[in-house]
Amino acid sequence: MSAPTPTRWSALPLPLVVVLLLASVLIPARETWRIMHLLRETTEVIEPARTLVDRLELGLTTESSALERFAASGDSADRARYLAAADDNRRLAAIDDLARMLGGEAVGRTFAIRERVTEWRRIARTIVEDRVPAAQRADALRSERASYEAAIDGIASLATYLSAEGSSHRELIRESERSSLVVNAALVFVALAAVFAVSALRDRERRLTVTVERRAQQEAALREAAEALAAAFTVEDVTQQIVQSALRATEVRSAFVEQIAPVRGDAGATLVVRASAGEDAPPVESTIPYGGSCTELALETNEPLLIPDLGADERRCAAAIPGGSGRAAIVVPLGHGGAPIGALFVLGARPAAFAADDLAWARTFGHLAMLAYEKVRLLDEARAGRAQLERVIKSRSRLMRGFSHDVKNPLGAADGYAELLTAGVYGELSAEQHESVRRIRRSLRGAIDLIEDLHEMARAETGNIHLSLKLVDLADVVRASGEEYRAVAEAAGLTLTVDVPDTPFIVMTDRVRVTQILSNLLSNAIKYTARGSIELRVHGDPAERAADRESWAAIEVRDTGRGIVADKLDAIFEEFVRLGPSEKSGAGLGLAVSQRLAQALGGRIEVESEVGRGSTFTLWVPAQKLEAPAETVLPPAGGQPAVAVSSRSSADDERES
């Protein structure tokens, strides 16, 4: 069950509140700064500029009046008054101040006014200083009047421009104040909405936290239930664990399991309560009819059922619980391998005690229960199969022992009579008769050897391989085996070399069994090597090859035969498997018996082979002394062969074979 995943909008309100808080500070601050800037331009630039323009216009008007009086009277007093007014340079400095304050378009206007005023004063001084001839005086006065009017027009135009700028600034101030109010109101509204959204988000997160914690508890309980169900090995144990785990996982009032009882005679199917726990749970072995039950309904849909009120549910299904009215229930179908078993009932203490998402938990719990029942079924089948296999193995072993006993004795008797014929007890034989008897005896010995292999296999499967553990010099065993098969190898055109250490290689093992294994390996090497050589050697191996022993001893039989394909390396140790051509003699038991004997000695046989280059068979045996009990029995057939370790002599063991 996964936790509820918040949508991408769930994380939006909180950052939005932060942004709105910043906006509610920055936007009004920006608008306030803009208003203050406009006010400052109006009060510190435009209004003072208008005052300067008015003063300039008044000063020029006064200066022009003094000039006109002088031009009309020619009186020296009027000239002095004009010169006093004209020498006042503050007006021109005021024009320069206007240019610096206003900037932009106003600079060009103030520059043009300065040029016009300067030109007008130049003409006026030529008139005042009598530098204009009388004939040109009228023209000079007209030119002075035109320059004066141009200067006055420029000043009037500048005044109009300043008045328009002042009006524009005042309008911008009013618009900024209005927009600031609107923006602030919008920000407050959105901030309030974000606050409500944050509050709703906090409530939702709180609910999600509760849901997540609840689901985490359910998942932890499901893990515990899985562990408990995994530890159950019978149907009864599983059923009881289902009820107990359901109580722990849901913390409900009670739980019980109804199982389908076998149908007897013509009676209809019934349900039996096999396990129950909690308050007001029905007693074990309570029964109700299967037809019309909640269990039947759940098994038909194969899905958990959520019943808000058992007594008032419109489906009106029955359950083995008295007084079900006023109690909610979840019914979980139980089964395995397509076979229905029954249903688990989880009961709440009140109506609507479960939510729809509890069905997800119930579905998971049903799967766990199904796996537990399936595990028990497989274990039962495995136990039954193992018992059947053990019966088959014992039966085959008895058959082999009986067969080997009943067939070996007649074959031995026939070999004895053949030996008497060879010895001449019944008269001298011709050369051809001697050869025929020799072939008869060879066939009889082959049959007896095959019976011995079958007998060894039967004893290995039933755990009756007897070992005589003694201190053995492996170098001597390998040397003796090499000498025994040297003549056979040379007769086959092969070279047999023996590589053993000069000092004794002492281990605790069974000399006869090791010799038997080496005989099988050397026999196979000679049989399947057409040309080349066979090498027999013994050596020790580092301790890291063993998990619980100090060291190992290895006996290798290496040949230059045709080799074995990789996918057949494991098959050669199986019974009655022969990879060679059909003309080679043998029943395919030698390696199978040798591997079981090696395992009985505490080791194993390994093989490395490459097609066309030969094979190496290695017998690994423990190289340290074994503290063996009087008798050790290991699992037969399917695991390491059971071994009975005793101090009987090898001869006794051979006789028993």
Burial class (CB in 10 A: 0-12, 13-18, 19+), 26: exposed
- Predicted pLDDT of residue 625: 44
| Exposure b/e, 212-241, CB count within 10 A at least 16 = b | eeebeebbebbeebbebbeebeebebbbbb
Q: Measure the CA–CA gap between 360 and 211, rounded to whole angstroms.
A: 13
Length of the chain: 657
pLDDT averaged over the chain?
76
CA 340 to chain CA centroid, Å, is 33
Residue type, 468: S
Do residues 41 and 97 make contact, with C-beta atoms less than 8 angstroms apart? Answer: no
Whether residue 345 has pLDDT greater than 80: yes
Q: What is the CATH number of domain 237-365?
A: 3.30.450.40
**And the tokens for 539?**
């050596």
Pick the CATH number of 463-656 from 3.30.380.10, 3.40.600.10, 3.40.50.1170, 3.30.565.10: 3.30.565.10
- Predicted pLDDT of residue 323: 58
Q: Measure the CA–CA gap between 618 and 437, rounded to whole angstroms.
A: 38
- Predicted pLDDT of residue 441: 76
pLDDT digits (tens, 9 = 90+) for 525-568: 998 898 899 999 998 765 444 444 457 889 999 999 888 888 77
Q: What confidence tier does 639 reach under pLDDT thresholds 50, 70, 90?
A: very low
Whether residue 94 has pLDDT greater than 90: no
Whether residue 260 has pLDDT greater than 80: yes
Whether residue 354 has pLDDT greater than 60: yes
Beta-bridge partner residues of 604: 620
Whether residue 455 has pLDDT greater than 50: yes
pLDDT digits (tens, 9 = 90+) for 559-580: 998 888 887 777 787 765 555 5
pTM above 0.75, yes or no: no
Measured in degrees and rounded to the nearest 5, phi and psi for residue 106 equal: -65, -25
- Predicted pLDDT of residue 461: 60
Tell me, letter by letter, the H, E, C secondary structure of 585-624: CCCCCHHHHHHHHHHHCCCEEEEEEECCCEEEEEEEEECC
Q: How many CA atoms lie within 13 A of 532 on its CB side?
A: 18
For the residues of 54-99, what is the DSSP string, one character each? HHHHHHHHHHHHHHHHHHHH--HHHHHHHHHHHT-THHHHHHHHHH
pLDDT digits (tens, 9 = 90+) for 176-229: 888 878 877 887 777 777 777 778 777 877 877 777 776 776 677 667 767 767
- Predicted pLDDT of residue 217: 67
Q: Which residue has the higher pLDDT, 415 or 112?
A: 112
Q: Measure the CA–CA gap between 352 and 326, rounded to whole angstroms.
A: 9
Q: What confidence tier does 10 reach under pLDDT thresholds 50, 70, 90?
A: low
Measured in degrees and rounded to the nearest 5, phi and psi for residue 328 equal: -85, 155
Strongest mean pLDDT among 31-40, 157-166, 473-482: 473-482
pLDDT digits (tens, 9 = 90+) for 218-234: 677 667 767 767 777 78
Q: What confidence tier does 628 reach under pLDDT thresholds 50, 70, 90?
A: very low
- Using alpha carbons, list the distances in angstroms from residue 257 to 235, 428, 447: 12, 90, 64
- Predicted pLDDT of residue 417: 72
- Predicted pLDDT of residue 578: 57
Do residues 522 and 607 make contact, with C-beta atoms less than 8 angstroms apart? Answer: no
Q: With CA atoms as reference, report the closest residue to 528 among 564, 485, 576, 491.
A: 564
- Predicted pLDDT of residue 366: 81
Give every CB contact of residue 86 below 8 A, 6+ residues apart in sequence.
63, 66, 67, 121, 124, 125
pLDDT digits (tens, 9 = 90+) for 469-526: 889 999 999 999 999 888 888 988 999 999 988 888 888 998 988 998 998 899 889 9
